[in-house]
Amino acid sequence: MFVMSDSSMSKRLRILVAKPGLDGHDRGAKVVAASLRDRGFEVIYTGLHRTPIQIVDAAEQEDVDVIGLSILSGSHMELLPRVRRLLVERGLDHVLLVAGGIIPVADAVVLETDGYAKIFGPGTATGAIADYLEAQFAS
């Protein structure tokens, strides 16, 4: 089990996996969520068709450390920056933000410049995602 620790306490890393927009395909998101659970992370999956506000509301209510967005619809340059802006507006910009799906490399560079920690492309091994997240929170 992956556990984050600071000087006085430890807790399981909490990850919110969400599907923003009208994208109706969530098999990949479910595979990633299950894989992360198997690695010991605590995972909350929001389901399909979430708005940026619903995603940020869930992140705030669930007190997550990471938000992972899966998007295949082509609306990533509209929806993903909105999620980032809402996090900043609510003082949640400490939440690590990652995304994956069909996102062109040029757009991934823009998103990473604008606050996404990592954009995972199609075919990324679930173990590589878990390794990345563990490395981000290792003490």
The pLDDT of residue 29: 96
1 in any annotated domain: no
The identity of residue 8, as a single letter, is S
Predicted structure pTM score: 0.93
In a domain, 45, yes or no: yes
Please say whether the beta carbons of 76 and 107 come within 8 A.
Answer: yes
- Tens digit of each residue's pLDDT, the chain (139 residues): 666 655 445 689 999 999 999 988 999 999 999 999 999 999 999 999 999 999 999 999 999 999 999 999 999 999 999 999 999 999 999 999 999 999 999 999 999 999 999 999 999 999 999 999 999 999 7
2 domain-assigned: no
Q: How far apart are CA 84 and CA 39, in angstroms?
A: 26
Domain assignment of residue 29, yes or no: yes
Phi, psi for residue 70 in degrees, rounded to 5: -115, 125
CA 45/CA 81 separation, integer angstroms: 20
Give the domain range for residue 119: 11-137
Residue 92 belongs to some domain of the structure: yes
Residue pair 78/90 in contact by the 8 Å Cβ criterion: no
In a domain, 64, yes or no: yes
Assess contact for 15 and 66: CB atoms under 8 A.
yes
For residue 64, give the CATH number of its domain: 3.40.50.280
Is residue 41 within 8 Å of residue 72, measured between CB atoms? no
Per DSSP (E only), the strands in 39-131 are: 42-45, 66-71, 96-101, 118-120
- Give how many domains the chain has, as a whole number: 1
CA–CA dist 59, 64 (Å, integer)? 5
**6 lies in some domain:** no
**Domain membership flag for residue 5:** no
